[in-house]
Structure 1
């Protein structure tokens, strides 16, 4: 795949010679591109240009995935799908990658929890995280997926069933957790445990008093003994109610596993809120399979919903690429506008993962943002191509240090006429930024 960036500005101005600057996927270290420019410098235009150039030279095998956060990257002929609360299609973040090395249930659960903590305004507390982990693991088991049985990670696992096997989704997780909540209310609720703790606490207090008084009872001790008797009777009554209401045989395990009614209720509320966003559905988005450009219109989503959507979407795209296996050239190009909204300096952040590992699986990442200062040094180092369309002056010094570019070159950039680009090819170890004339 080739991308026509423009012509060498120095050769054109000094010699009158048009020397094309071409980005070639077979020559670059990896297909990742960081495109930076303030508003009005032509980011959207440049992205469209890259897409059309890539389609012409991609040999019909490349698909472009446009994560359009503002709904303004319209590309002629693209298959566009809008995502909102009202649509009946979406994502399933609980879909399992059956690859024994890169996938599995434990990795899916951990990735799911980590993504929630990175993308939501309130991270899960330790108890909530443990409860949600147990809910998802139990839900998988209820649907025939087991952490220690890799053969069960496939939908087609060779077992005949009355109903086809399917991956659970957020709706299923909510219903499952709500059912657990009801079981705890009518079965082994925390009242029984609290009565038992009350008996133990008061008995311990009585023993301390007896030690101090050399085993001679006083009025306080007599009163405490009566309180212990009352607490014991309440505990016995509660245990009787618990035994009477045993229905599944799992009530005690659930009480231990799901911590308490309060923690389970707060976790159920989290799942209900996720369900209410409308982006987590079992039905796949209605993209045209034959169309090489898929545009994900996310403008109707809130900032938090956009972060969740992009994280889970890119995780699924990467999982599909891993299942495809190593390839020699690019098959999927992910275009992410306002990429800084989705970046965190965390090794588990999907942008970091793609920058480091996606190349060999045929995935290229194109990140557009207003400044390179939003990204970590490691991320920038893992992106082979950097294109600067024009940065606000307040970011010049910090951008020059981070991108290893002379500040003077930033001054020479004229929006929509000249840009600066660094293309790291396999044939060269050290590459300087080059001034490129792009005006047509």
Structure 2
């Protein structure tokens, strides 16, 4: 979980380096340790996830932040100003809904915030998919429009490979195929190309 969340923030802010990404991972891990997740004697039913903002608070406790940490905190401050870390933790899993759900992320024109919310929602779907377990049929479809905006998210090719056995059909709609890792295309069962102007990418679609 800590590694997946680290990847989300690195995808949102590509200028962050490996050291800053590792600081995110360690602070998220520490927040779970505080909540008792490292205690082998604690029943899983009694465990609860720490507040999402807790890892940011842990990062702020460094008494002498270096330049890298200060830059990281500035990026996180940008998200915090929009209430990104105040998201409710008790929401119902989207997989429990039997009605279509549209999640709009364009209420703000802030590109980083749009990527942050889209990535976090996608991460929540991915995490809850495993909690729900395998299914014997397709029960839901996820349509990710403008998916190239989150092309750097490592969860996309991973979910594309895993989702079918969990009853999920993943539909990625994008204008820019070149931004995706080529491993994604090996996991696609069907694709529809309406127009392709990127000559270098045409071999990717060969069957």
SS of structure 2 residue aligned to 1:358: helix
Residue 57 (structure 2) pairs with residue 175 (structure 1): yes
Within 5 Å, give how 1:173-322 maps onto structure 2: 173-178=55-60, 180-181=61-62, 184=63, 260-262=64-66, 264-283=69-88, 291-301=98-108, 302-322=110-130
Kindly name which structure, 1 or 2, has the bigger radius of gyration based on alpha carbons: 1
Matched, 1:337 2:145: yes
2:33 alignment counterpart: 141
* CA 287–325 in structure 1, closer or farther in 2 if over 3 Å, else same: closer
Q: In the TM superposition, what is the alpha-carbon distance from 1:293 to its structure 2 partner? A: 0.7
1:403 aligned partner: 205
Q: Is the 8 A contact 2:28 2:55 kept in 1?
A: yes
Kindly tell me the number of residue pairs found equivalent between the two proteins.
203
- Displacement after TM superposition at 1:151 (Å): 6.1
Instruction: Kindly indicate whether the alpha-carbon contact (under 8 Å) linking 2:135 and 2:166 is maintained by their aligned counterparts in 1.
Output: yes
Distance 1:132 1:375 in 2: 24
Q: Quick one: higher RCO (CA 8 Å, sep 6+), 1 or 2? A: 1
Aligned position for 2:158: 353
Instruction: List alignment gaps of at least 5 residues for structure 1.
Output: 1-107, 158-164, 185-259, 406-440
TM-score by length of 2: 0.78
For the Cα contact (< 8 Å) 2:148–2:174, is it kept in 1? Answer: yes
Is this contact kept in 2: 1:326–1:361, CA < 8 A?
A: yes
Separation in 1, partners of 2:56, 2:181: 36
1:349, distance to aligned residue in structure 2 (A): 0.9
Aligned to 1:111: 4
- CA RMSD of the aligned region, Å? 3.1
CA contact (8 A) 1:330 1:362 kept: yes
Q: Which has the higher strand share?
A: 1
CA distance in 1, matches of 2:206, 2:129: 32
SS in 2 for 1:113: helix
TM-score (norm 1): 0.40
Structure 1, residues 73-97: CA drift from partner, whole Å, max 9, x if none?
A: xxxxxxxxxxxxxxxxxxxxxxxxx
User: Hey, what's the Cα distance between the residues in 1 that align with 2:131 and 2:139?
Assistant: 13
